[in-house]
A = this chain, B = another copy of it.
Amino acid sequence: MTRPTYVAGVGMTPFGKFPDAQLQTLGRDAAYLALRDAGVPQRAIEVIACGCARSGILQGRESGVGQLVGWTLGIEGVPVYNEKAYCASGAMAFNVANMAVAGGFHDVALVVGVEQMSRRDGKGRPITSDGMQLETELGFTPPVYYALAARRHMAEHGTTREQIAQVAVKNRQAAALNPIAQYRDPITVADVLASRQVAGPLHLLDCCPTGDGAAAAVIVSDEGAARLRLTPRVRVSAAVAGTGLYRDQARDLTSFSLDESCARRAYEQAGLGPADISVAEVHDSFSIAEIIHYEDLGFCARGEGGRLVAEGVTTLGGKLPVSTSGGLLTRGHPLGATGVAQIVELTDQLRGRSGPRQVTDARVGLAHISGGFHEGDFATSGVTILERLSA
């Protein structure tokens, strides 16, 4: 029923703390780079989807961030969809834009993910998941949740504290090769363990930072590519999202059943399996999270995640490099931008444009994101699979 779609171009701003920037200038800069990369003029854009999680609470602009970015770029008249799904906002924007093109409604779509967390125009609300007011007052914030998951993973599977820290070290190694990453100075396992404890056993360097930034992508159909004389090299083979209860957490803190089911659907959609993945970006909001995601995405058997990172399988040069951008932990995590930044990294990897952090012969990339975490412990999971087209 639906038709093939392609990522024709990508772009992003550096991630970091830019309190003087504005949502529209960040979004514009990323979008402009994506348009230039794709070779697509503004007037060819037929629809915009924008992911931004916190602009209302942080900047007093709850609606219309995508409209504002479009206006700043000189794009008007087209439908603009603004997606709000916590940390998964960018992935949901990618999904809406992909649906608009795959469904035959439009031929050329612009996806923008943007967030500014370093400047808060409103009263300084704590940054935690919406709807976690009670949990926050009780101290059950995301770092605490992941600390419990880490303890359980260690107790149940013999995962070591050092293996968990190794995720942060590995991702910082990748970030050192990524000029737009928020933190690029090399760190060691000792550094992670010596950093301030946030929620035992997790320390500061086990946790992703807040930050500002934007990422963008242009999605086209075959018709759009032909009309604009483009030769896209990356196909969208699966774009899956789901919202649900993290119900099994009550039984097992070390797995997210929602991520498992979304990954399964994505593999089915793409006609591929975990063994086919060349490179992945996962939601490493905390070091332990990346280990859990390995298992839920099928990169290794249950309980083997710690070993996977310890053996260097997921390091640059390993069999399945993960978080080659530096991930949320070190490239940074401006909420709404992250889901699109993952697409940027994978698209560059699949096109052989990742310079010193290039994964050899990258053919299939998988992006995984996870957003929200609150009453009823429901959340949004998104899994996207991109494939390199043969030349």
Interface residues of A (CB under 8 A from B): 1-3, 48, 53-57, 60-64, 66-68, 70-71, 76-86, 89, 92, 95-96, 99-100, 102-105, 122-123, 125, 130-131, 133, 240-245, 258, 261, 371-372, 374-376, 378-380
Contact = CB atoms under 8 A, between A and B. Distances in A.
Q: Which 4 A-B pairs have the closest CB atoms?
A: A103-B103, A1-B104, A56-B56, A76-B244
B372 A64 contact: yes
26 contacts: A1-B3, A1-B104, A2-B103, A48-B243, A54-B56, A60-B133, A63-B86, A64-B85, A64-B86, A66-B243, A67-B85, A70-B243, A70-B378, A76-B244, A77-B242, A77-B244, A79-B92, A79-B240, A80-B380, A81-B95, A82-B85, A83-B83, A99-B99, A99-B103, A103-B103, A122-B123
Contacts of A245: 71, 76
A86 B62 CA distance: 8
A242 B78 contact: yes
Contacts of A130: 56, 60-64
B99 A84 contact: no
Contacts of A53: 62-63
A43 to B, nearest CB: 13
Nearest to A89: B63
Contact of A375 (B68, B105, B240, B261): B68
A64 B374 contact: yes
A375 to B, nearest CB: 7
Given A62-B56, A103-B103, A133-B60, A83 B82 contact: yes
A67 B372 CA distance: 10
A84 B80 CA distance: 10
A376 B81 CA distance: 18
Nearest to A130: B61
A80 B243 contact: yes
A57 B62 contact: yes
A138 to B, nearest CB: 17
B84 A243 contact: no
B2 A79 contact: no
Contacts of A56: 54, 56-57, 62, 84, 130
Contacts of A125: 60
Given A2-B103, A103-B2, A245-B76, A57 B54 contact: no
A49 to B, nearest CB: 10
Contacts of A103: 1-2, 99-100, 102-105
B68 A2 contact: no
Given A76-B243, A103-B105, 20 more contacts: A1-B3, A56-B57, A56-B62, A62-B84, A63-B84, A64-B85, A64-B372, A68-B131, A68-B375, A68-B376, A70-B243, A76-B244, A76-B378, A77-B258, A80-B85, A81-B85, A81-B92, A99-B100, A103-B104, A123-B123
A95 B82 CA distance: 12
- Among A64, A71, A92, A378, max chain B CB count under 10 A is at A64
A61 B89 CA distance: 14
Contacts of A378: 67-68, 70-71, 76
A64 B104 contact: no
Contacts of A77: 242-244, 258, 261
